[in-house]
Structure 1
Amino acid sequence: MQPRFHQSILKYCALSLLIVVPLLLQGCSPTTSIPGTDGSATQGNASIEQANALFTQGKKREAAQAYYAASARYPTPQRERIILQAAEIAASIGDAQLTNTYLARVPASVLDGENRARQAYVKALLALQQKNPALALRTLPSNLDNISPALRAKVKHIQQRAQASAGGKGGSVGQNVQRAMVPSSVNRIAALLPQSGALRSVGQEIYRGMETARNSIASDTTVQLYDVNAGGAVAQYQRAVAEGADVVVGPLDKESLAQLLAQPQLLSKPLLSLNYLTNSRNIPGALYQFGLLPEDEARQVATATTARGLRTAIVMAPASSWGDRIAAAFRSAYQAKGGQVLNIQQYPDTASNAYMQNVQNALAATQGRASMVFLAASPSQARLMRPLLAAQAPSLPVYATSHIFSGRTDPGNDADLDGIRYTEIPWVIEGLQNGSLNNSTFPRMFALGMDALLIAKNLPSIGGNPNAQVNGKTGDIRVAGNRQIQRTLLFATFVNGVPQALGQ
């Protein structure tokens, strides 16, 4: 079987050269059942040769299905490689459902560097086919150093197309943003939050934050809670509006938000979601999107560091979709401000002894030219990474986002984070200063709830004015032109394992 597999690769590579915009990948496989567009399987056999033939006949959907069917007989990483081929072809015809069906069959935990980059490329290709070049640019793999020349060429091709479509600009290009729905006054707020299921405790913490803010700044306003899991988001939104809500806050999960946006004609009152659907092409006038986006913090670090003259950076990020997102956001903002990312070093997403090698590789690649390190990491990852960086390059400043701090004080373990400069929300700093931080299970979610109430109450003044700003507990808040809520945070550092605010 193995010689036949290599023959298929060579045969397929030759075919690829004949295609103006190469869609096929170099690597294929043999037979099993073929899934339909709904992910179900139909009976039949498929081989790489059959899939190749279907593609050359212009039957791209059938070819994608055949490649996916053929993948089952191969071990990791070949299996994932072939599934990603199927996903790429599905993305090339703009079939989001089929593409996402295939991508869901590729667990992030088994992806090597090449396949991880290919997965990001497929997502970017789909975004471009759906006329969202800004999302495509954000999604493309950020580190092209260690991928094959063929994939690198494809990534650059998509990047050029996306940049041309976006006119060289970022933001919400490709999105149809309707005129903002701005309430004249807000006296009744509905909270569309989970009161059951996996997100129950988070939903309750957000609601507690809303109630706390109402008691302190909006005692004349009522907040009514609706369980989004009882009957679904659409039914609960309609019920809230029928009962007189001026603004609906929530939902928290993307699935419920997608249900509401699937019927935008039902949105008769402003909706302040607590999550983002960044691939939404049409943004209803009622929709405002709010959440604790890590990309916002990465961009703020990029802006602050370049302003301080730190214009050559090493980026260290976990090998995960989250790591890819935050690294790409930093790189884009850093370069836009005149900075140069010298090296993007991906490290294992789980705590590993390999971190030392990752640090040494990053420093060796930059040969002393870096003026800073941007570290995307969880608390456990940062506790291992920071001492290694301090030992290898003690004079190199390290910047990070709030994700390095759990939100609960732990000086014994967090002493390893001493010296890192990172973005932090005002509510956490306040809690540290008055000793109340550990009273909350999810302090940042509590602050999110407080600011959801603040934003909802102030929509009449800030909803249609991107220059207006309110000072919240998750940062200084303004409503961008696409009605995504943008936040500016404080900077903090660790001293003896405890975060302290830094002068701005």
Structure 2
Amino acid sequence: MRHNGLMKKSIYGVMLSLSLLMHGCSNVPGLTGVTDNSAMPGDASIQQANALLKQGKKREAAASYFNAASSYPSPQRERVILQAAEITASIGDADLTNSYLARAPLNTLNGENQGRHAYVSALLALQQKNPDLALRLLPTDMNALSPALREKVQNIRSRAQSSGGKPANAVKVQAAMIPTAVNRVAVLLPQSGALGGVSQDIIQGIQAARSGMGGSTSVNLYDVSTGGAVAQYQKAVAEGADVIVGPLDKESLSQLLAQPQMLSKPILSLNYLTNTRNIPGALYQFGLLPEDEAREVANFAIARGQRTAVILAPNSAWGERVAGAFRAAYQGKGGQIIANQQYADAPSSSYLQDVQNAVGASQGRASMVFLAASPSQARLLRPLLAAQAASLPVYATSHIFSGRTDPSKDADLDGVIYTEIPWVMESLQAGTLNNSTYPRMFALGMDAFLIAKNLPGIASNPSARVNGKTGDISLAGNRQIQRHLPFATFANGLPRPLGQ
């Protein structure tokens, strides 16, 4: 046990002193190498990397750090990988940097490593002469960073701004890249890792749509879990793809956008980037945005004459996004928010008090409740709302329904009006809904193929509309796919189309 304790201390000593000597890279703060002298697996490689870095042999140093990383447990392993990526980013080697970053995916990191990952991505963007993207990629929570990393982030921000970069508060859309025909579709999705299961349902949806349209268009899969999004995009283009579908995670998408000059084929991403400037002409964005659904609820309620609302949303980033989208759309249509009540993100005994506060603050003036909630949260909050204000209609987004039928639990949701995608309702009526683990992701895949196949017509005609499985689809001026959804409600614990 004493040996393990010394080992752990030694690891942390090495990691705390990891840094870079950025010789020859102007305006990047210089740092020293590792100074930990304790004997442990990987120490010799770290010391060798330090020596190579001091000699100005950056590529060799990066390779040495990367090779040494396998000797450490997480999160130290990822920290050493990011050390290697920082070196290659500083010399503008995008391919090697992205290959390193792919071995330390952002969604697996936390704490300082998340901030360092963002910093490395921003550094690469700046070295690629894209200061706007560098500013967008930089971490925003400076309080979560160590003083050394904070200094480096501030340095990159200053350099980007002096190079003409502007804060990401406006959108400039480049001329669209429109394919003349789509005969080959490449799909960039992870085959393993945290998003591997979700990706499988998306892929199955793509294949189902392809079969339904006759199967004449080829679909080839490219695993971003191995090699990273950039390398797989380049491979797909080299193999003749007309349209690229994916990637799914924002980090992989950011890696592609860090090299806009490389993008020679249209990308239909399965996620959205926010506050983006200088959107490349190749990028079309598609996904299941909760904000879209919140705006649908606002418009629907206003159309029904319900112009005074209470908002109940979790105290989380997701809750703030959804509540903010509803509030902006509702007020934009002339609605008034009477009360805006947050509740604990995890199920809590305080829910009753939260509901009482919201209903009490409305003083009988509210005509509706907008409930942003997960299934478990909604099942607890809905009965409390019914007890406190039985006459108030409750609206929600599709997030209150798990996508798998469970009438015994969902009976508490009876009467709630919510947005739902057509595929879920069709599958429910056909008795096949529970056949899919992620039915909404399956529908996302179906519509991704539908959009990709019809991209020449959709992108050329602003008034084009497509009846998809995730909603009624159209293309906005910034080439974001917009969805208009039908409404459903619960009866006897099961969803059904509203009005039936």
After TM superposition, is the score higher than 0.5? yes
Q: Does 1:190 align with 2:230?
A: no
Query: Quick one: distance in 2 between partners of 1:100 and 1:484?
Result: 24
Structure 1 residues 405-420: aligned runs within 5 Å = 405-420=401-416
Q: Which amino acid aligns with 2:142?
A: Y
* Deviation readout 1:28-54 (Å, 9 max, x if unpaired): xxxxx9x9999x999xxxxxxxxxxxx
Aligned match of 1:236: 232
Aligned match of 1:448: 444
Structure 1 residues 175-254: aligned runs within 5 Å = 175-254=171-250
Aligned match of 1:337: 333
Q: Retained in 1: the 8 A contact 2:210–2:449?
A: yes
Query: Quick one: distance in 2 between partners of 1:239 and 1:288?
Result: 20
Structure 1 residues 253-268: aligned runs within 5 Å = 253-268=249-264
CA gap of 1:103–1:229, structure 2 versus 1, over 3 A, is farther
Task: Tell me the TM-score normalized by structure 2.
Answer: 0.69
Structure 2 unaligned runs (5+)?
A: 1-16, 21-27, 34-133, 147-160
Determine helix, strand or coil for the equivalent of 1:191.
strand
Query: Quick one: distance in 1 between partners of 2:393 and 2:304?
Result: 12
| Aligned partner (choices 340, 347, 352) of residue 356 of structure 1 | 352
Query: Quick one: distance in 1 between partners of 2:370 and 2:32?
Result: 45
Query: Quick one: distance in 1 between partners of 2:250 and 2:330?
Result: 29
Aligned match of 1:468: 464
Structure 1 residues 92-491: aligned runs within 5 Å = 99-100=139-140, 102=142, 104=144, 130-133=166-169, 174-491=170-487
Query: Quick one: distance in 2 between partners of 1:205 and 1:104?
Result: 35
CA gap of 1:322–1:455, structure 2 versus 1, over 3 A, is same
CA gap of 1:95–1:250, structure 2 versus 1, over 3 A, is closer
Query: Quick one: distance in 1 between partners of 2:484 and 2:363?
Result: 33
Deviates more, 1:196-205 or 1:350-359: 196-205
Structure 1 unaligned runs (5+)?
A: 1-32, 43-93, 107-125, 134-173
Aligned-residue offset at 1:343: 1.2
Q: Retained in 2: the 8 A contact 1:492–1:500?
A: yes
Task: Tell me the TM-score normalized by structure 1.
Answer: 0.68
CA gap of 1:385–1:315, structure 2 versus 1, over 3 A, is same
Query: Quick one: distance in 2 between partners of 1:130 and 1:503?
Result: 49
Aligned-residue offset at 1:443: 0.4
Aligned-residue offset at 1:98: 6.1
Query: Quick one: distance in 2 between partners of 1:238 and 1:96?
Result: 24
Q: Retained in 1: the 8 A contact 2:327–2:337?
A: yes
CA gap of 1:201–1:95, structure 2 versus 1, over 3 A, is closer
Q: Percent identity?
A: 68
Q: Which amino acid aligns with 2:402?
A: S
Aligned match of 2:102: none
* Deviation readout 1:235-286 (Å, 9 max, x if unpaired): 1001101111000000001110000000011111110000111122110111
Q: Which runs of 4+ in 1 moved over 2 A?
A: 35-38, 94-106, 129-133
Query: Quick one: distance in 2 between partners of 1:349 and 1:327?
Result: 14
Aligned-residue offset at 1:131: 4.0
* Deviation readout 1:280-302 (Å, 9 max, x if unpaired): 21101110000000000000000
Q: Which amino acid aligns with 2:377?
A: Q
Query: Quick one: distance in 1 between partners of 2:315 and 2:322?
Result: 11
* Deviation readout 1:405-444 (Å, 9 max, x if unpaired): 0000000000000000000000000111010000001100
Name the Cα RMSD after superposition. Answer: 2.9
Query: Quick one: distance in 1 between partners of 2:350 and 2:279?
Result: 44
Query: Quick one: distance in 2 between partners of 1:473 and 1:95?
Result: 36
Q: Retained in 2: the 8 A contact 1:194–1:229?
A: yes
Q: Retained in 2: the 8 A contact 1:180–1:464?
A: no
